Amino acid sequence: MRILPPPITLAAALLAALAGPAAAEGPKPYLRATLGLAWTGDTSFKDADCKAQDPFALFGCGTGENGKSIGARGDFGTTTMLGAGAGLELTSWFRVEAALDLRPNLAFDGNANFVKAGRDQPVSSTVNQADLMAFAYVEPLAAMGVETRLRPYLGLGAGVSRNETSKMTYEFPALAQPRYSVMPGGTHYDFAWAAEAGLGYAVSDRITLELAYRYSDLGQVETDDGTLFVQRATSTLLIPIAATEASLTSQSVTVSARFGF
């Protein structure tokens, strides 16, 4: 992944023009702490390369008995979202922030559709997710010169996501064999972005409480190339297996406290 450097000179000129006289006092630093609830969207594990043969693709390029491409469909459930940030208020209505957010123990609950393996094919795994993003926030009322303790805001962020996947277990209760199989896990770094809308309440000149909704695209979750463990009725098999992947998106509702200096 290639990250292009920002046009610093142009950005500085734009910020100076936006700030005007309000920038005379200089940027105001702050810290933020966040706690929230995050839930994930529907997703599907598929082969990184459905034609792979060395090692072998897990699903292949065919379709299952339900007429859909073979894969494992489900979601990663809900989890607590923890976050911390450090930012600068550049004007009375525009601020930038670097934020670290964690979504631990996202539990994948899905179902596969391998041919002739029954309708019930449970798939499970766990993902620990973390992302580091740079955000820009705008407060529309403050930009229009409206002074109030209630301060709605909009924000956009972009950065990098780290998605660590545990081993994935595929179960086949309708079959005598194999009874289950286990895929290796993996850790994947990817581009991530987020959009946020919220409402802040200025408790004092230095403390602001916020309630926000955020949509996040956290890139891909991946398992590594490795060995597939297959538990049969009276024996086990070890099969070289290729990587699988799934997209990870999240919605969240958070409460935050900002502390200015």
- Secondary structure (3-state) at 70: coil
Strands (E), the chain: 28-40, 43-47, 72-75, 78-89, 94-112, 122-138, 150-165, 168-171, 180-183, 186-202, 207-222, 226-231, 236-241, 244-260
Q: Calculate the CA dihedral of residues 71, 103, 80, 213 and round it to 10 degrees.
A: -90
Q: Calculate the CA dihedral of residues 38, 39, 43, 45 and round it to 10 degrees.
A: 60
- State the pLDDT at residue 52: 94
- State the pLDDT at residue 14: 39
CA–CA distance, 199 with 10 (Å, rounded to integer): 30
- State the pLDDT at residue 45: 97
Look at residue 156 and tell me if it is in a domain: yes
Q: Which domain holds residue 147?
A: 29-42+76-221+249-260
Look at residue 208 and tell me if it is in a domain: yes
Residues 16-66 have pLDDT tens digits of 444 444 444 789 999 999 999 999 999 999 999 999 999 999 999 999 978
CATH of the domain at 120: 2.40.160.20
Q: Which residue has the tokens 């964690």?
A: 102
- State the pLDDT at residue 67: 87
Look at residue 118 and tell me if it is in a domain: yes
Look at residue 226 and tell me if it is in a domain: no
Look at residue 154 and tell me if it is in a domain: yes
Look at residue 232 and tell me if it is in a domain: no
Look at residue 93 and tell me if it is in a domain: yes
Specify the number of domains making up the chain. Answer: 1
Look up the pTM and report it.
0.87
Those residues of the chain that have pLDDT short of 70 are 1-24
- State the pLDDT at residue 66: 85
Look at residue 142 and tell me if it is in a domain: yes
Mean pLDDT of the chain: 90
Half-sphere exposure of residue 202: CA atoms within 13 angstroms, side-chain side? 14
CA–CA distance, 114 with 73 (Å, rounded to integer): 12
